[in-house]
């Protein structure tokens, strides 16, 4: 029963984390497009609050994910090739999350040099990662 709770919490925190990293780059799109200092100031507040709000969800996703790996054991982990691929994608996603702090700082200090088109593409990265992670976890292809 404990394992089901751990798995449920892992999934719940993952969903909350993804909600934030789906929305944050959308705010970056709007921020890159605006020429209004008032709108820019409001977006700076929204971006900062959102990133700091979802970061604990990212951490808790990691904690409960690692708990699951240890609970299933090293033999299961060694035999789960799909999990190794999933963890590479997850590691890249954490890198994406950390990079969002750099982008946040650039906007906060009015140093953004990227266009709204860059942020539109950047916004799609977590969607692709989520699809890959879910398909790997459900299909367990290798």
**Residue 116, marked binder:** no
Q: Which two tokens stand for residue 53?
A: 């709000």
**Residue 86, marked binder:** yes
The string of DSSP letters for 53-94 reads HHHHHHHHHHHHHHHHHHHH-HHHHHH-HHHHHHHHHHHHHH
What is the signed CA dihedral for 124, 17, 8, 81, rounded to 10 degrees? 50
Question: Which residues make up each annotated binding site?
Answer: 10, 86
Question: Which residues make up each annotated binding site for heme?
Answer: 10, 86
């Amino acid at each position: 029963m404990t394992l089901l709770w751990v798995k449920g919490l892992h999934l719940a925190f993952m969903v909350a984390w993804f909600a934030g990293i789906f929305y944050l780059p959308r705010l970056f799109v709007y921020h890159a497009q605006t020429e209004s200092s008032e709108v820019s100031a409001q977006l700076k507040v929204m971006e900062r609050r959102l990133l700091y709000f979802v970061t604990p969800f990212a951490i808790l996703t990691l904690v409960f994910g690692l708990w699951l790996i240890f609970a299933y054991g090293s033999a299961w982990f060694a035999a789960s090739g799909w999990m190794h691929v999933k963890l590479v994608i997850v590691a890249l996603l954490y890198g994406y999350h950390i990079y969002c702090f750099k982008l946040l700082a650039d906007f906060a200090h009015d140093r953004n040099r990227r266009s709204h088109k860059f942020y539109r593409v950047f916004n799609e990265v977590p969607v692709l990662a989520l699809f890959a992670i879910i398909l790997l976890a459900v299909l367990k292809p290798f």
